[in-house]
Amino acid sequence: MAVVKGEQQPPLHILFFPFLAPGHLIPIADMAALFAARGIRCTVLTTPVNAAIIRSTVDRANDAFRGADYPAINISIVPFPDIGGLPPGVENGMALTSDVDRERFFEAAQLLREPFERFLADNRPDAVVSDSFWHWSADAAAEHGVPRLAFLGTSMLARSCTESMLRNNPLETVPDDPDALVLLPGLPHRVQLRRSQMMIDPAKRPDHWALFQSINAADQRSFGEVFNSFHELEPDYVEHYHRTLGRRAWLVGPVALASKDMAGRGTDALSPDANSCLRWLDTKPAGSVVYVSFGTLTTSSPAEMHQLARGLALSGVDFVWVIGAAGQALDTSEWMPEGFADLMARGRRGFIIRGWAPQLLILDHSAVGGFLTHCGWNSTLEAVSAGVPMVTWPRYADQLHNEQLVVEVLGVGVSITGGKDYASSGEVLGEAIAESIVRLMGNSEEGDAVREKAKDLGMKSRCAVENGGSSYNDVGSLMDKLMARRLPVMGVIIGSIMHAN
Ligand code: UDP
C-alpha cells in the first residue's frame, strides 16, 4: 500500500483472542463492539462452537457499519484442535463435565498457538488483546512484533489479590488447616480468606501455582492489560495497579453497555422460557423481584438447590431463578422442597428459567430489585451497570474477592454467608438466604442505603463509557498509544517514498 504524506491512516486493527468459556468470550465480543464504535477494525479468533456463541453480538454490532468497506468486526474461525478423547463439539469450558475432559480440553486448547501465530504473521494487526490464560501468547506476539494486551476478565481488586498472593506466598507461614486465616499483604484494603478458599495453594497444587506464576509474569511483560471495569468503581485498585505495582492498565468498561444484543447475547440457543419470563416480569411491581443466577460454570449441589428454594420461599419475595444444565439434569425430587412447585403455579411467586436467560434484559427490567449472584465478574458488573443491588453467594476463585468489593468496599450488596464457612458443611441455610434477600429488598434503612448506592453506581458506570467519561478516555489513550507505535514505521515508509521522488 502506498502511503503519502497527509493521507489518512488506515484504522487500527486489533486481534481479540479470548479463552474458550462464556465468561471470557462474552466480554471480549462486547469489547470488540465498543472498540469498533471508536473506528477500530476488530477480529476475534476462535473456534466454531465459540464463534456461534458470540455471533449474534457481532452481527448486531456490525449492523451499525452497514455500507462500510469491510465489517468492523470479523470472526476468524479455526478448528478446535483434535487430540482425541473429547466428544465432538466440546470446545468450551461450559461443556466440560469431568476432570479428565477438562485436562484434555486444556491440552488441546494449547495447540491454538499455531493458528494464533499464523494470523499474526499473515495480518500484522496493530495489537492483540489475548486472554491471560493464553500466557504463551505474550511471547508469540512479541516474536511477531505485535504488542499484547492481556485480559483476564476480572476486577482490578481480584487481580491485585492474585498478584499479592503470587508475589508473597502468604500460605507458607499459615498452618495446614482449611480454616486458618490467610492475609494478603500490600493491598489497599485488609483482605483475608480462609486457607480452603484460596484459589491456589502451592503445597496442594504446585502445577496450578506454576501456571498462575506464568500467567502473572506473561501479563507483566506484555504491552499492558485491559480491564472490564471503570476508574470510579475501584479507584484504590487503579492507583495500586498503576503506582504500587507499576503496571500499565486501561479500564474500558463496563463493556456490556456497548452491547446492542440484549436478548441473544452469549448464546445461539436462548431459553424458550425467556419471553414468557419477561412478560411475567411486566406484571410485577417495580423493584419487587429478585433475580437468581450463578453464571455459566458454577454448579449447585442438590443440597444447595434445596436450601436456595427454601430461602426463596421463606423470603416472601418474588423471584426469577435460572437453573443451568446441571440443575436441569436433576430430578426435582432431589432438591425441590414440599410446596415449592405451588409457588410457581400460575406464576404467582416465582418463575424458573431453564437454559440461557437474557440476563441484560432481566437486570434492566424495572420489576427487578435485587440479584442473587455468584459474583462472577461479568454478572457483578452487569448488576452495577443496571443499578441493581446484590445478594452475594460466591463459591470460589475471584468470586470471593468480587464479593468483598461489592459488600465491603462499595456497599451495594448483602452477603449470604457473611464470611461464615457454610461451604465446608456443603450447605447454605435457607434461613440465611431469606434473611439476606429481605435485608436487601425490604423496607429498612439498610435496604434504602444499599439501593441508593447501587443506583448511584449505575449512573457512574454509564457516565464512564459516554463521550468524555473515564473509560471512554482510556480507550482513546490506548488508541493513541497504538497509533504512536505505528508512526515511526509510517515515517520510514513516507521518508522512503519522498526520498524516491
Ligand atoms: N449469562 C446470560 N444468561 C445466562 C447465564 C449467563 O446472559 O443464563 C451471561 C451473563 O450475563 C454474564 C456471563 O454469562 O455475561 C457469565 O459471566 P460471569 O463472569 O458472571 O460468570 P461465569 O459464568 O464466568 O462464572
Q: What is the CATH number of the domain that holds 140?
A: 3.40.50.2000
Same domain, 128 and 216: yes
* Ligand 1 atom index nearest CA of 23: 24
Same domain, 428 and 489: no
What ipTM does this complex have?
0.99
pTM, rounded to two decimals? 0.94
Q: Please, which residues bridge with residue 16 across strands? A: 44, 129
Structural domain includes residue 162: no
Buried b (16+ CB within 10 A) or exposed e, 314-341: bbebbbbbbbbebbeeeeeeebebeebe
Please name which of 102, 104, 58, 96 lies closest in space to residue 77, comparing C-alpha atoms: 58
> What count of other Cβ atoms lies within 10 Å of the Cβ of residue 290?
25
Same domain, 491 and 382: no
- Cβ pair 195, 171 in contact under 8 A: yes
Same domain, 414 and 474: no
Same domain, 430 and 471: no
pLDDT recorded at residue 491: 55
Q: Give me the sign of the Cα torsion angle 113, 159, 410, 396.
A: positive
Q: What is the distance, to the nearest Å, from the Cα of residue 192 to the centroid of all Cα atoms in its chain? A: 23
Same domain, 35 and 108: yes
Ligand 1, pocket residues at CB < 6 Å: 22-23, 26, 265-266, 293, 295-298, 322, 356-357, 359, 376-379, 382
Structural domain includes residue 203: no
Structural domain includes residue 191: no
pLDDT recorded at residue 420: 67
Same domain, 403 and 457: yes
pLDDT recorded at residue 201: 86
Same domain, 319 and 386: yes
Please tell me which residue in 30, 131, 201, 261 is annotated as part of the active site: 131
pLDDT recorded at residue 501: 47
DSSP 8-state assignment for residue 406: I
Buried b (16+ CB within 10 A) or exposed e, 436-457: bbbbbbeeeeebeebbebbeeb
Structural domain includes residue 167: no
Classify residue 413 as exposed, middle or buried by CB count within 10 Å of its CB (0-12, 13-18, 19+).
Answer: buried
Structural domain includes residue 178: no
Separation of CA 348 and ligand 1 centre (Å): 26
Q: d(Cα 481, Cα 475) in Å, to the nearest integer?
A: 10
Instruction: Decide if 131 is catalytic.
Output: yes
Same domain, 470 and 458: no
Structural domain includes residue 266: no
Same domain, 288 and 431: yes
Separation of CA 118 and ligand 1 centre (Å): 31
Separation of CA 151 and ligand 1 centre (Å): 17
pLDDT recorded at residue 28: 98
Same domain, 69 and 85: yes
Range of the domain at 419: 274-463
pLDDT recorded at residue 417: 84
Q: d(Cα 29, Cα 160) in Å, to the nearest integer?
A: 25
The parts of the chain modelled with pLDDT lower than 50 are: 1-6, 501
Please name which of 232, 225, 156 lies closest in space to residue 462, comparing C-alpha atoms: 232
Separation of CA 381 and ligand 1 centre (Å): 11
Lookup: cell for 293: 443466577
Structural domain includes residue 359: yes
Instruction: Decide if 242 is catalytic.
Output: no
* Local structure of 15: helix, strand or coil: strand
Task: Give the angle 165-169-170 at the CA atoms, nearest 5°.
Answer: 90
Residue whose Cα lies nearest atom 6 of ligand 1: it is 295
Same domain, 476 and 401: no
Total domains in the chain come to 2
Length of the chain counted residue by residue = 501
Residue whose Cα lies nearest atom 17 of ligand 1: it is 23
pLDDT recorded at residue 4: 43
* Ligand 1 atom index nearest CA of 399: 25
